[in-house]
């Protein structure tokens, strides 16, 4: 489900909620609804898109340069040249070069953040100079503003940012919620180029960089840009109708780019009939199609009403080139109210494959197995996060979680469930889909007229997991809403206030046993995922704080205010941590910024969320 009330919000919210009395913690829930199937058949494939077949065009084409006036308006001191602009934060900064060698507590981890999930397995674990003994010395090195463009700017709507950047050859590459792509020099914060598309989508977005090319997407097309200049190399339309969009960072492996559509188009609506998630494999050099995987088949017999599927984040890849994807929810969904004549998802009876599933595909796109966590999802419980590929008890495993607030570990070869663990607050509705799976429009449904649902719209595990090889870390959001057969039984204003007041947790779980090692309660929703380096775990919260926690104990090592609220994960490279504060609408006098923290830096933000 997309975000209410703001084009800048991303697929994570712009506002939060306080916990209500009467909810219960879900550590001991019995969950019987998940399904696992290994198959040998290839699902139906289809083809769309070409250079000539572009259905929409970006509102702004070509490479543009940030204006100094625009940078100053965002609250950072500026200087500009003919082809780039520098945005700095006041105060002394540490030197450009790292003075501490990169280290790692885990053998074989990536040396830097060159991929959206840190590595091909999406572990979000990299080697760095940052440890529990020096993390408290992180200070502001530089900041760059996030600016609205196109229709959003004309409407006076703040831009947003909710992705993880990548750092390749000393350059930070990132994308905002309007699909605009930016390259920034890591050592100085100098903006090397921007390519503005002014193409709003549901987020989280992001880029992938390989062999001198930046791969990204607008709300309708996969694109490739020259990494040195930002010049567009190709664009290929992927959507099949205007009920679809794209809002993920592309995957890349061995000369192929992977991008999925999703049934969300902020310019038209979300989860409208006929909107499908289809994963496309495209030639990285030309954008030509190689194969596609239909994530929702024939929309369960009713494409005029039903929709579903899609990816938020890139696939994971094993050493054989097999793909592992986490697929989003079916539609219609209950929060918005059911369509007339089809309550409780009765327009889509059955499990609604392959929604809310981890799916393993061969390099040629053949379905090898799937595991469905939430059959016949009623509540927008995407299993949207990139599956994490790691080792447990000496065997390759897949760990994933999503908005249902349940961690799962699967055998990587067979997809068989090894363990399952609800985390955060669960109010007893985890299996409602099983109650309604075979219902008809006139069936009596054994659910109360009104009830508290948790996890809810923006609850559960909204953002990516991380692992250090033995422990998986999950950022959990606790947000209840009152539900009825007609949808969310709260006003939009009340819901926005509730999202802003929500709390959260960072949970560490043993990969070998599925048992909680520690559970650190947080005063705001950690939509900033989990990111690990050495013995430190990072996240950001919706209220606008960067946290660093001890990976072994959960003890808070650093809590520092950002320039605005955040729903973006961080990236780590050397002695830098790159954070995004892209939710400026939470309060006045806040600044939407990309912020680089560095060991020993002494810079100062133009303003923070601190009282």
The Cα–Cα gap between 455 and 82 comes to 50
**0.75 exceeded by the pTM?**
yes
Asked if residue 19 is part of any domain, the answer here is: no
Among the residue ranges 99-103, 174-178, 522-526, 548-552, the one predicted with the least confidence is: 99-103
**Beta strands 471-478 and 425-426: pairing type?**
unpaired
Asked if residue 3 is part of any domain, the answer here is: no
- Among 171, 170, 149, CA closest to 160: 149
pLDDT for res 427: 97
Q: Which domain holds residue 178?
A: 24-599
Q: Retrieve residue 457's tokens.
A: 């719209």
Question: What average pLDDT does range 178-197 have in this prediction?
Answer: 97
Among the residue ranges 158-162, 310-314, 363-367, the one predicted with the least confidence is: 158-162
The DSSP bridge partners found for residue 4 are none
31/597: higher pLDDT: 597
Q: Is the dihedral of CA 268, 269, 275, 280 positive or negative?
A: positive
> With 90 as the cut, is the pLDDT of residue 429 above it?
yes
pLDDT for res 103: 55
163/38: higher pLDDT: 163
Beta-carbon neighbour count of residue 611 at 10 Å? 4
Asked if residue 266 is part of any domain, the answer here is: yes
Beta-carbon neighbour count of residue 413 at 10 Å? 15
Please work out, in degrees rounded to the nearest 5, the angle formed at the alpha carbon of residue 144 by the alpha carbons of 142 and 150. 180
**Beta strands 269-270 and 264-265: pairing type?**
antiparallel
pLDDT for res 11: 55
Question: What average pLDDT does range 306-329 have in this prediction?
Answer: 98
The DSSP bridge partners found for residue 72 are none
Sheet holding 367-372, edge to edge: 35-38, 367-372, 357-361, 323-326, 316-317
CATH of the domain at 330: 2.140.10.10
The Cα–Cα gap between 443 and 379 comes to 19
- Among 456, 399, 401, CA closest to 428: 456
Residues 6+ apart with CB under 8 A from 174: 161, 163, 165, 166, 181, 182, 184, 206, 207, 580, 594
Question: What average pLDDT does range 132-148 have in this prediction?
Answer: 96
The Cα–Cα gap between 26 and 37 comes to 26
- The CA-to-CA distance between both ends of the chain, in Å, stands at 32
> With 90 as the cut, is the pLDDT of residue 261 above it?
yes
pLDDT for res 90: 59
pLDDT in tens, 34-76: 544 544 333 333 333 333 222 222 222 222 222 222 222 233 3
Mark out the alpha helices in 333-436 (DSSP H runs). 432-436
Query: Pseudo-torsion of CA 263, 266, 272, 276, nearest 10°?
Result: -10
C-beta separation of 344 from 485 below 8 A: yes
Among the residue ranges 20-24, 148-152, 306-310, 419-423, the one predicted with the least confidence is: 20-24
- Among 533, 477, 465, CA closest to 326: 465
The DSSP bridge partners found for residue 36 are 371
155/112: higher pLDDT: 112
- Among 403, 373, 407, 409, CA closest to 389: 409
| Overall domain count for the chain | 1
Q: Retrieve residue 174's tokens.
A: 């990132």
Check residue 603 and report its DSSP letter.
B
pLDDT for res 30: 29
> With 60 as the cut, is the pLDDT of residue 21 above it?
no
Res. 588 pLDDT band, cuts 50 70 90: low
Q: Retrieve residue 374's tokens.
A: 């939430």
Task: Using a pLDDT cut of 90, give the percent of the chain over it.
Answer: 74
Question: What average pLDDT does range 488-503 have in this prediction?
Answer: 90
> With 70 as the cut, is the pLDDT of residue 94 above it?
no
Q: Which helix (H) or strand (E) holds 78?
A: strand 77-80
String of DSSP letters for 95-142: -SS-SS--B-SSTT-BSS--STTSSTT---BB-BS--TTTGGGEEEEE
pLDDT in tens, 540-573: 999 999 999 999 999 999 999 999 999 999 999 9
pLDDT in tens, 221-240: 999 999 999 999 999 999 99
Check residue 82 and report its DSSP letter.
S
Question: What average pLDDT does range 507-511 have in this prediction?
Answer: 98
Question: What average pLDDT does range 122-133 have in this prediction?
Answer: 98
Residue 269: burial class (beta carbons within 10 Å; 0-12, 13-18, 19+): middle
Asked if residue 346 is part of any domain, the answer here is: yes
Asked if residue 12 is part of any domain, the answer here is: no
Asked if residue 14 is part of any domain, the answer here is: no
> With 80 as the cut, is the pLDDT of residue 13 above it?
no
Task: Using a pLDDT cut of 70, give the percent of the chain over it.
Answer: 82
| b (16+ CB within 10 A) / e for 44-83 | eeeebbeeeeeeeebbbeebebbeeebbeebbbebebeee
Asked if residue 271 is part of any domain, the answer here is: yes
> With 80 as the cut, is the pLDDT of residue 4 above it?
no
Which residue matches tokens 């760990």?
Answer: 399
The Cα–Cα gap between 459 and 520 comes to 17
Average pLDDT of the chain to the nearest whole number: 85
pLDDT for res 590: 83
Question: What average pLDDT does range 578-604 have in this prediction?
Answer: 88
| CA-to-CA dists, residue 352 to 292, 298, 325, 379, angstroms | 19, 10, 16, 13
| CA-to-CA dists, residue 529 to 320, 406, 540, angstroms | 28, 15, 7
C-beta separation of 594 from 147 below 8 A: no
pLDDT for res 87: 42
C-beta separation of 59 from 198 below 8 A: yes
Asked if residue 8 is part of any domain, the answer here is: no
pLDDT for res 583: 87
Residues 6+ apart with CB under 8 A from 157: 6, 7, 8, 148
| CA-to-CA dists, residue 49 to 28, 55, 150, 276, 288, angstroms | 48, 9, 25, 15, 9
């Amino acid at each position: 489900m997309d975000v209410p009330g703001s084009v800048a919000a991303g697929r994570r919210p712009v506002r939060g909620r306080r916990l209500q009395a009467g909810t219960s913690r879900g550590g001991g829930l019995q969950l019987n609804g998940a399904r696992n199937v290994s198959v040998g058949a290839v699902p139906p494939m289809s083809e769309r898109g070409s250079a000539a077949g572009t259905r929409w065009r970006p509102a702004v084409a070509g490479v543009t340069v940030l204006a100094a006036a625009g940078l100053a308006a965002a609250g950072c001191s500026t200087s500009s040249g003919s082809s780039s602009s520098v945005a700095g934060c006041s105060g002394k900064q540490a030197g450009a070069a790292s003075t501490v060698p990169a280290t790692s507590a885990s053998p074989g981890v990536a040396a830097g953040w060159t991929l959206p999930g840190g590595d091909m397995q999406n572990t979000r674990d990299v080697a760095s100079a940052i440890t529990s003994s020096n993390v408290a010395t992180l200070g502001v090195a530089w900041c760059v503003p996030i600016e609205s463009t196109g229709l959003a700017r004309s409407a006076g709507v703040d831009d947003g940012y909710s992705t993880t950047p990548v750092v390749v050859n000393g350059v930070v590459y990132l994308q905002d919620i309007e699909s605009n792509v930016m390259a920034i020099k890591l050592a100085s914060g100098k903006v090397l180029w921007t390519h503005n598309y002014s193409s709003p989508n549901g987020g989280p977005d992001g880029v992938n960089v390989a062999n001198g090319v930046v791969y990204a997407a607008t709300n309708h097309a996969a694109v490739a840009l020259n990494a040195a200049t930002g010049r567009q190399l190709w664009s290929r339309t992927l959507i099949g109708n205007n009920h679809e969009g794209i809002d993920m960072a592309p995957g890349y492996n061995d000369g192929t780019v992977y991008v999925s559509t999703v049934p969300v188009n902020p310019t038209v609506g979300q989860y409208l009939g006929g909107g499908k998630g289809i994963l496309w494999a495209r030639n990285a050099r030309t954008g030509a199609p190689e194969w596609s995987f239909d994530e929702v088949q024939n929309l369960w017999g009713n494409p005029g009403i039903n929709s579903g599927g899609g990816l938020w984040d890139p696939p994971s890849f094993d050493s054989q080139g097999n793909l592992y994807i986490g697929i989003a929810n079916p539609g219609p969904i209950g929060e918005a109210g059911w369509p007339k004549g089809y309550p409780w998802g009765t327009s889509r009876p059955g499990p609604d494959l392959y929604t809310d599933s981890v799916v393993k595909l061969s390099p040629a796109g053949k379905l090898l197995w799937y595991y469905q966590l939430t059959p016949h999802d009623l509540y927008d419980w995407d299993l949207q996060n990139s599956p994490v590929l790691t080792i447990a008890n000496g065997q390759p495993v897949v760990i994933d979680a999503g908005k249902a607030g349940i961690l799962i570990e699967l055998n990587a070869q067979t997809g068989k469930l090894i363990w399952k663990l609800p985390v955060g607050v669960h109010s007893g509705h985890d299996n409602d889909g099983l109650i309604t799976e075979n219902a008809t429009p006139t069936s009596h449904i054994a659910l109360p007229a009104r009830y508290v649902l948790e996890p809810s719209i923006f609850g559960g595990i909204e953002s990516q997991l991380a692992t250090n090889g033995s422990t998986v870390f999950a950022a959990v959001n606790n947000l209840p809403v009152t539900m009825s057969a007609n949808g969310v039984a709260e006003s939009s204003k009340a819901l926005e206030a509730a999202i802003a007041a929500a709390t959260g947790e960072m949970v560490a779980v043993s990969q070998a046993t599925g048992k909680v090692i520690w559970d650190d309660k947080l005063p705001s929703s950690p939509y900033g995922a989990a990111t690990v380096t050495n013995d430190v775990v990072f996240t950001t919260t919706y209220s606008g704080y960067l946290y660093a926690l001890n990976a072994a104990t959960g003890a808070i090592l650093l809590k520092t205010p950002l320039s605005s609220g955040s729903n973006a994960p961080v990236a780590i490279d050397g002695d830098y941590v790159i954070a995004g504060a892209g939710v400026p609408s939470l309060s006045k006098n806040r600044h939407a910024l990309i912020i680089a923290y560095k060991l020993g830096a002494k810079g100062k933000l133009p303003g923070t969320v601190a009282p």
